[in-house]
Structure 1
Amino acid sequence: MSRILTESVSRRTFLLTAGVTVGGAFTASVLPSRAFAATKPIVLRYASSLPDTHPLNNQMKVAAEAIRVQTNGAVDLQVYANGSMGGDTDLLSQVRGGAMDLIALSGAILSTMVPSMSIESMPFAFKDYDSVWAALDGKLGDYVRAQTAKAGLIPMDKVWNNGFRQITSSTRPINTPQDLAGFKLRVLVSPLWSSMFTAFGASPSGITINETYSALQTKVVDGQENPLVVVESARFYEVQKYCSMTDHIWGGCWMLGSGKTWPKLPADVQEIVAQQINAAALVQRQQVIDLNASLETSLTAKGVIFNRVDRSLFRAELEKKGFYAQWKKRYGDEAWSLLEQYAGQLS
């Protein structure tokens, strides 16, 4: 259960007698959770813009089945992937309004509403996964979850893994910061992403993930940046020739419940759903690590040419341009101090 969540119904005594609307679906009366003898299931809707084959969506299907079994069919968590319910900004609007019950979004996208959420993606901050999990399962994650709850969203305890991001290109490999000068690059719709690549002299364009393949294919942009798992699942290798292993940003997805519909769920249902989703997140974290580690070989076989870079050159360029000092002011001393506890001194 999310530590931020305030339960509105006693775990021992809850009883829905009139039915509630959750995610737009009417639910019939539900007996106490130890019986889970619903005559009609509680329907919860989860949506993502990521491909259906992405490990995040695969594990949400596993969580949905576990929830169904544990509640004897009283809770039906439906999974919608491939942007079928809209792009990232559409999904954020839907979950805020209660039309969607659960979404998974990058902190960079969510930062338009909760500025501190993008701090996880500070470029060249985390050296490895151990430091990422220590930060997000620890004090930095607690701080961000508290800020998110104030905005009317219900953050789950575990952040899902999307992996360290790499730069792909159809025109040339990126070896140094100077190779990014004038480079037309698809990035997340995020001030942090745009600010970083602008500092390198690139020409970033904020494009949603479900529109990226077309933008690459039609040469609206020359490249994009994503973990290898996305390069594979979104088939970007079909329209990209080079992949530079920059590890410039770690990216994940925050699993968020709607502040409109989540509090209407019985407390025991909240606990089971959150428990299964958080458990699935831990499995998915390792799946993405293993998958990203294996994909260089398979993508090479598909014609992608890989190169590695000296990350210190990119970090030094950002320091020289005042990038870290600028973002420290935006996040504030408290958030920045928590980040540096795990990432080391950045400014």
Structure 2
Amino acid sequence: MSLTSQLKKIAGISCVAATLATATGVAQADTWRYAHEEYKGDVQDVYALKFKEYIEDNSEHTLQVYRFGELGESDDIMEQTQAGILQFVNQSPGFTGSLIPEAQIFFIPYLLPTDMETVVKFFRESKAINEDFTELYADKGLELLKMYPEGEMVVTADEPVTNPQDFKGKKIRVMTNPLLSSTYEAFGATPTPLPWGEVYGALQTNMIQGQENPIFWIESGGLYEVSPNLIFTGHGWFTTASMANKDFFDDLSADDKQMVRDASEYAFNETMKHIDGLADRALDKIVKSSDKVTVTRLTDRQIAKFKARAPKVEKTFYEMAGESGKELLQQFKADLDAVAK
């Protein structure tokens, strides 16, 4: 029996028990399941535990949190959420992009600013984030609770990189996301989709020569051990999203719906406090852990060479996401302009 089949069986038993409890007049307190893509103590884990804290402090419900690998990879936990086995899931647009093409907007390089204050303000206030995406996720049976940033993307490679020519011939691991592949093609590299569980070994054996992730993930996953050259290209932020199975959410009472939304807002605020200074602390740990690490921060002139290739990726986004993607990007840019002003 597959993992998903086993979980469906468990979910079915839980459903029967809940029905019997309701029928006999027993007060109902549910155990909800929440899965995310990261390790203990990482940003998604912080968000999940704050979400759990609010739920359990403000209701009789309990929340079981599952971390990376406990229920499979990212694709597995999304499948389980859509099937109703999990009530909540945290998944980045890097994987959701195959389900919701418009979510790939976050992989258009140099679209988001690099300073944290502006990025967080954008996620709080953006109409594209807080209204338009909600509709797109709902069409796929998902109730979008909160999109939030985790950290600036940093590239690691087998040698320092300062211009697109340095990427020539290098296989760079990407998530299973077509637009991210287009980004690294534009940068001059050979994009190589791989599930997360295979990345460390592929770097170690030189099957791939680099990858990208926020710096805290590079530190916690030990990627700098096998890919020691860190390159700050300034091309984007890692973004993720907390969501619920829509059928489950729609069946909640009005009070529980509001409580879940309040929990997501509380978790967002606490997580933004957590990531403030997180990148600097993670980089400090990396540098102290290995004398093989190099840190390259591209100058404005060096960044301009990469940024000049971004319009090609934007054009690819239009082709993938269609008219709705074009409208979303226009709103996205308008929201960024509003925040900048």
TM over 0.5: yes
The answer to whether the Cα contact below 8 Å between 2:123 and 2:148 also exists between their aligned partners in 1 is: no
Equivalent position of 2:303 in the other structure: 311
2:184 corresponds to 1:191: no
- Cα offset, 1:22, TM superposition: 10
The aligned amino acid for 2:309 is E
The answer to whether the Cα contact below 8 Å between 1:48 and 1:103 also exists between their aligned partners in 2 is: yes
2:71 corresponds to 1:85: yes
The answer to whether the Cα contact below 8 Å between 2:120 and 2:149 also exists between their aligned partners in 1 is: no
The answer to whether the Cα contact below 8 Å between 2:105 and 2:317 also exists between their aligned partners in 1 is: no
Change (3 A) 1:289 1:189: farther
Equivalent position of 2:328 in the other structure: 335
- Cα offset, 1:144, TM superposition: 1.4
Identity %: 24
Alpha-carbon separation, structure 2, partners of 1:217 and 1:23: 40
Equivalent position of 1:300 in the other structure: 287
The answer to whether the Cα contact below 8 Å between 1:48 and 1:57 also exists between their aligned partners in 2 is: yes
- Cα offset, 1:134, TM superposition: 4.3
* Cα displacement string for residues 212-270 of structure 1 (whole angstroms, at most 9, x for unaligned residues): 22222232212110000111121212222110011222121111101232223322222
Give the one of 301, 315, 326 matched to 1:325.
315
The answer to whether the Cα contact below 8 Å between 1:88 and 1:105 also exists between their aligned partners in 2 is: yes
2:242 corresponds to 1:255: yes
2:118 corresponds to 1:126: no
Give the one of 216, 239, 242 matched to 1:229.
216
RMSD between aligned residues = 2.4
Equivalent position of 2:45 in the other structure: 57
Give the one of 163, 167, 171 matched to 2:155.
167
The answer to whether the Cα contact below 8 Å between 1:44 and 1:77 also exists between their aligned partners in 2 is: yes
Q: TM-score, normalised by structure 2?
A: 0.84
The aligned amino acid for 2:280 is A
2:135 corresponds to 1:146: yes
- Cα offset, 1:343, TM superposition: 4.7
- Cα offset, 1:115, TM superposition: 1.4
SS at match of 2:211: strand
The aligned amino acid for 1:290 is G
The 5-angstrom pairing of residues 60-79 of structure 1 reads: 60-71=48-59, 74-79=60-65
* Cα displacement string for residues 18-45 of structure 1 (whole angstroms, at most 9, x for unaligned residues): xxx9955333657xxxxxx975630110
Unaligned runs of 5+ in 1: 1-20, 31-36
SS at match of 1:165: strand
Unaligned runs of 5+ in 2: 1-8
Equivalent position of 1:179 in the other structure: 166
Alignment length (residue pairs): 313
The answer to whether the Cα contact below 8 Å between 2:219 and 2:285 also exists between their aligned partners in 1 is: no
The aligned amino acid for 2:307 is R
SS at match of 1:297: helix
Q: TM-score, normalised by structure 1?
A: 0.83
Alpha-carbon separation, structure 2, partners of 1:256 and 1:59: 12
